[in-house]
């Protein structure tokens, strides 16, 4: 148990669907992250929220829309996705300004877009 | 550009020692991390190096040479449960973590 939870763990959606991924951290951290992990590719940073402000948007298509209502919760809203968006979506959190700022990851949501 | 290189796959025998290498070229350097990721699970933090030298933590050790842009993760007394992917990540001058593709380690009895 890393203190970061994600739901759902698995999601299958059509290209016209709208769905949301949820992440919750129980570590008292002040920064949260969304990453995309595709087979045989490095983890790709998508979004960073620090103190509930979005500080990074790594050229992610607008069909991905993040939301951070408070420092413990992070959402990723999905709409009109493409099959190439199928991947493992990982959430992480860290304490910015607190030493080496290790990021702790959730178990991920395995997304399949049909 | 920014680049992290590590071998794609390695195999080893239970009880043996294995060294997983990582070389990096990044804009700035503010620390190097190693994570372990079992299939279908979250990456879990193993080690952090920011100064040159060896950091030892039980059966796992991590080494850093900043002048060479090089790190390795050393796993001793290998166990079957050590079969996993090992991710090398560097924090550059933008404070973002840049990840390698990971090294998939298989431990055989």
Question: pLDDT tens digit string along A62-111?
Answer: 999 999 999 999 999 999 999 999 999 999 999 988 667 899 999 999 99
Q: Is the model's pLDDT at A57 over the cut of 80?
A: no
Q: Does A105 touch chain B (CB under 8 A)?
A: yes
Give residue A97's pLDDT.
80
Contacts of B43 in chain A (CB under 8 A): 43, 90, 105
Q: Does B41 touch chain A (CB under 8 A)?
A: yes
The arithmetic mean of pLDDT across residues A45-61, rounded, is 83
What whole-number distance in Å separates Cα of residue A93 and Cα of residue A78? 21
Interface list for A 61-90 with B (CB within 8 A): 90
Q: Is the model's pLDDT at A2 over the cut of 70?
A: no
What is the rounded average pLDDT for all residues in chain B? 94
Q: Does B86 touch chain A (CB under 8 A)?
A: no
Give residue A39's pLDDT.
87
Give residue A58's pLDDT.
72
Give residue A62's pLDDT.
92
Chosen from B42, B64, B84 to mutate, greatest number of chain A CBs within 10 A: B42
**pLDDT band at residue A1 using 50, 70 and 90 as cut-offs:** low
Residue B92 CB coordination number (10 Å): 17
More confident residue, B98 or A55: B98
Give all strands (DSSP E) within chain A, no chain letters: 4-7, 10-13, 18-25, 31-37, 44-50, 53-57, 64-70, 73-79, 87-94, 104-105, 109-113
């Amino acid at each position: 148990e890393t203190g970061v939870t994600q739901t759902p763990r698995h999601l299958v959606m059509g290209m016209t669907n709208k769905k949301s991924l949820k992440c919750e951290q129980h570590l008292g951290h002040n920064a949260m992250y969304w990453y995309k992990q595709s087979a045989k590719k490095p983890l790709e940073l998508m979004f960073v929220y620090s103190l509930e402000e979005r500080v990074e948007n790594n050229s992610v298509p607008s069909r991905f829309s993040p939301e951070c209502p408070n420092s413990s919760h992070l959402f990723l809203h999905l709409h009109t996705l493409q099959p190439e968006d199928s991947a493992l979506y990982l959430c992480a959190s860290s304490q910015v300004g607190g030493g080496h700022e290790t990021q702790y990851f959730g178990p991920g949501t395995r997304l399949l877009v049909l | 550009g920014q680049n992290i290189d590590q071998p794609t796959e390695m195999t080893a025998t239970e009880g043996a020692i294995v060294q997983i290498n990582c070389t990096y070229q990044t804009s700035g350097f503010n620390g190097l991390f190693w994570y372990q990721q079992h299939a279908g699970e979250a990456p879990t933090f193993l080690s952090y190096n920011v100064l040159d030298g060896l950091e030892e933590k039980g059966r796992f050790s991590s080494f850093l040479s900043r002048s060479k842009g090089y790190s390795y993760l050393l796993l001793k007394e290998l166990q079957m449960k050590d079969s996993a992917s090992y991710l090398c990540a560097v924090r550059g001058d933008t404070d973002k973590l840049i990840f390698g593709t990971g090294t998939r380690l298989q431990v055989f009895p």
